[in-house]
Amino acid sequence: MEKTLIILKPDALQRRLLGKIISRFEEKGFQIAGLKMIQISDSLARKHYAAHEGKDFYEPLIKFITAAPVIVMVLKGKNVIEIARKMMGATFGSEAEPGSIRGDYAVSNRFNLIHGSDTPASAEKEIGIFFKKEELFEYNPTDLQWIYDMSTGDIV
């Protein structure tokens, strides 16, 4: 089971889409291992988006992500990174397929509602930026046997 960081950005909060977006991940069967609302500071935003420093969209991105509170959450599940990114849709709302989060709710190429880690390494790094170890929870959901085929003893 892998983990990923999801950020519901200021536009998701301002447009009151938090519940709709979170419910998609829950309905898919992913476990929420951590969840909180925070106001991302300028320094935290710069740390998180350091890979984009110097690009033309960097400063507008920092201004956007710090403009209002966000929800940060850690999802846990088999192939959660790949599946969550498919659920989010293409980065630009104007290019995202209907049925994806961005395809259903985003039009802008800058205001795209959601961030999700793109690799296990980035997920581990990003989770460490936003969560302390004691803010993440390990528990056994009672419905795992109905989400995954566990007939062989392993999650399939």
User: How do the domains of the chain map onto residue ranges?
Assistant: 2-147
pLDDT at 153: 76
CATH code, 2-147? 3.30.70.141
SS3 of residue 14 by DSSP:
helix
Lowest mean pLDDT, pick from 42-51, 127-136, 143-152: 143-152
Tokens 């849709």 found at: 89
**What pLDDT band is residue 64 in, cutting at 50, 70 and 90?**
very high
Averaged pLDDT for residues 145-155: 83
Summarised one tens digit per residue, pLDDT across range 42-63 is 999 999 999 999 999 999 999 9
* Residue 39 CB-density burial (10 A; 0-12 exposed, 13-18 middle, 19+ buried): exposed
Helix (H), strand (E) counts: the chain: 8, 4
Active site residue 115: yes
Averaged pLDDT for residues 68-73: 98
Does residue 109 surpass a pLDDT of 90? no
Q: Which of 7, 101, 115, 116 is catalytic?
A: 115
Residue 137: other Cβ atoms inside 10 A: 12
